[in-house]
A and B are shown apart, each in its own frame.
Chain A
Amino acid sequence: MRPKILILFSLLILLILNILTSISIGPVRIPFYDVVITIFQYFTGDPYNRIYMLIIFYIRMPRVLLAVLIGAVLAISGLTTQTIFRNPLGDPYLTGIASGAALGAAIGFLISPFVVEPLAFAFAMLAVFITFVISRVDGEFSPEIMILAGIAVSFFFSAIASYLIYLREVNLRGVLFWLLGGLYGANWNDVFYLTIASLILFPIIFYFIPEFDLMLMGDEQAKSMGVNTKRVKVFTLLSSSIVTSFAVSMVGIIGFIGLVSPHIARKIVGESHRFLLPASILIGANLLLASDTIARSNPGGEIPVGIITSFIGAPLLIYLLIRRRFIDRSN
């Protein structure tokens, strides 16, 4: 038990170092030491170097913190779907969020840039709602039906989105950039709202940690051990869907973080969710922050972070799959 707490602690230290490093990297390179000093001075009195202070607090800090938050959101949602659906391929968008948000964004780009975020959020939630309604059978939510319903809803929504994009060649680059995901628009407002959403919705998911372990045994066994499976599914999936839709409406569709973070965490701390959940969150935050730092410090100009996360995430997943196969053979 001890070593696992130590692992969580070192992941936290890694995240802090990651944050400070990411702040120091950019067009104006701020030495690591100056980053620490300036932040310290900001909170204790007047910073000595005002330019550093402006760059850190008005440009880099919101983006870095948003990356951390979004990484955490995607990881916790990914783990929630993987656990509730008992499917190792579960990712946060399984209930149709991505396509819903894409359609909302496409409509938004047709109307006005100011309604892109709210419409993306609204349509993502609409997709989730439809998926939930379809998969209600005998007063229960069947994981198998929900996965298929999510896929059907996804295809339907993206068909409409593709049609809109194909029909009206308006701001194609804007839609494309949005679909690939990126944190270039990060500001303190986004950080503030996403923090509030996380503070409300993360504890709901944390509350169900004991149930999560039992849910892995299958609905029937979970029930026989006293779990109100319907309540667990509705509360956790709804919480994770709301917070993910919120995140997606801000930064677009960032792939692979939600899929890969729980798998990496599982390899390090095992299956028990009281370690797995915090570990996934910390790994997701670390991964997205590192990817975003690479994305924005690309010499030829910023590239969408979705490209980087997939570029790092895909080989990582392949590595884990190959390793697992070898372990299975040796047993």
Chain B
Amino acid sequence: MRLCSYTFSLGGDSLIEAINLSVKIGSRQILKKINFTFQDKEKIAIVGPNGSGKTTLLRALGGMLPYMGEIILDGMEIRKYKRQDIAKLVSYVPQIFYTPYTFTVEEFVKMGKYVDIRNWWNAEEIDRYLDDVGILSLKARYVNTLSGGELQKVLIARALAQNPKIIMLDEPTSHLDPKAALEINKIITNLDKTVISVVHDLNAAYNLYSKIMVMANGEIFGIFEGKSQDFVDAISKIYGIQYEIMGNRFIVPRGP
């Protein structure tokens, strides 16, 4: 099983590899035997219609779901990892959620340090992560008083505090205004990590990510390079809308 998987990775050390990955929730088959390989420091966007299995894929890669097949993370099947060791490799930024709990931003970001519990109270480091995403000034604010854009930055800072190799984000800009979305996208592109991000914004996927995985009906439709015509064609086919690219932006010339 391990040997034949190398046919998919064209040499080199892969950081994440999925082999015949299937996920079933109840009686519904969400992911259908998918295979892919991602290298270190790649920026991957996952694009596809609602219900195509994007979020489920992220959760499976984070070891949060039971699955069939194999997921090899940094050379080892993730079922063999301890929960805490997965969290040292992968951190997960969930979709923005409302939290009623009155934690301060500092306390909230500190939660990410759980993976490294011996340095649990190392406050300077927390400041560094807050500074990385530009929210050091919000340190003492309560998380339930933040705006969507601020909360998203706090969530990214918490993911950074885990100091992982891979950061997974679930629709990081979907609920944000254009300015906040721009800021978040800038933070994501500047991360010196492997990024796997579920994206609905086609322009962001096209321009900011090195690889784009297009999903449909629990299967991989194709994996494309960023800024490639193949991606535009694939997207046109998936959504049934004839897209064209003009000045690095997606446009629909004659209407749907």
Contacts and interface: CB of A to CB of B under 8 A. Distances in A.
A285 to B, nearest CB: 24
A324 B116 CA distance: 35
| Smallest CB-CB A-B distances: 4 pairs | A226-B87, A224-B92, A226-B84, A226-B115
Nearest to B155: A221
A225 interface: yes
A224 B62 contact: yes
Interface stretch (B98-106, B172-180, B215-223): B98-106
A272 B63 CA distance: 27
A223 B102 CA distance: 21
Contact of A228 (B59, B83, B115): B83
Interface in A235-291: 266, 270-272
Given A213-B103, A221-B94, 16 more contacts: A138-B66, A210-B117, A217-B99, A221-B92, A223-B63, A224-B90, A225-B112, A226-B85, A226-B87, A226-B162, A227-B114, A228-B82, A228-B84, A270-B102, A271-B102, A272-B107
Given A225-B162, A271-B102, A331-B145, A217 B111 contact: yes
Select the residue from B99, B101, B145 with max chain A CB neighbours within 10 A: B101
Given A225-B162, A226-B83, A228-B83, A220 B59 contact: yes
A210 B64 contact: no
Contact of A210 (B63, B87, B88, B120): B120
Contacts of A211: 114
Contacts of B112: 225
Nearest to A231: B83
B86 interface: yes
A271 B101 contact: yes
A145 interface: no
A216 B101 contact: yes
A266 B88 CA distance: 31
A61 interface: no
A214 interface: yes
A50 B107 CA distance: 54
Nearest to B161: A225
Interface string B206-243: 00000000000000000000000000000000000000
B87 A272 contact: no
B197 interface: no
Give the bracket for the number of chain B residues in contact with chain A. Answer: 20 to 34
Interface of B: 59, 62-64, 66, 82-88, 90-92, 94, 99, 101-103, 107, 111-112, 114-115, 117, 120, 145, 158, 162
Contacts of B115: 225-226
Contacts of A228: 82-84
A257 B16 CA distance: 50
Contacts of A270: 102-103
A266 B43 CA distance: 42
Nearest to B86: A226
A226 B114 contact: yes
Nearest to B93: A224
Interface string A119-148: 000000000000000000010000000000
A266 B84 CA distance: 29
Interface of A: 138, 210-211, 213-214, 216-217, 220-221, 223-228, 266, 270-272, 331
A225 B114 contact: yes
B84 A220 contact: no
A224 B103 contact: no
A150 to B, nearest CB: 22
Nearest to A140: B66
A294 to B, nearest CB: 32
Nearest to A214: B111
A266 B142 CA distance: 14
6 contacts: A210-B120, A226-B85, A226-B86, A226-B162, A271-B107, A272-B103
Given A213-B103, A226-B84, A227-B83, A220 B64 contact: yes
A320 to B, nearest CB: 14
A220 B94 contact: yes
A216 B108 CA distance: 11
Contacts of B85: 226
B64 A224 contact: yes
Contacts of A227: 83, 114
A210 B114 contact: yes
A220 B90 CA distance: 13
A213 B107 contact: yes
A299 B104 CA distance: 48
Contacts of B99: 216-217
Nearest to B85: A226
A226 B88 contact: yes
Nearest to A228: B83
Select the residue from A210, A226, A272, A331 with max chain B CB neighbours within 10 A: A226
Contact of A271 (B84, B103, B162): B103
Contacts of B120: 210
Given A226-B83, A226-B87, A214 B114 contact: yes
A223 B111 contact: no
B36 to A, nearest CB: 21
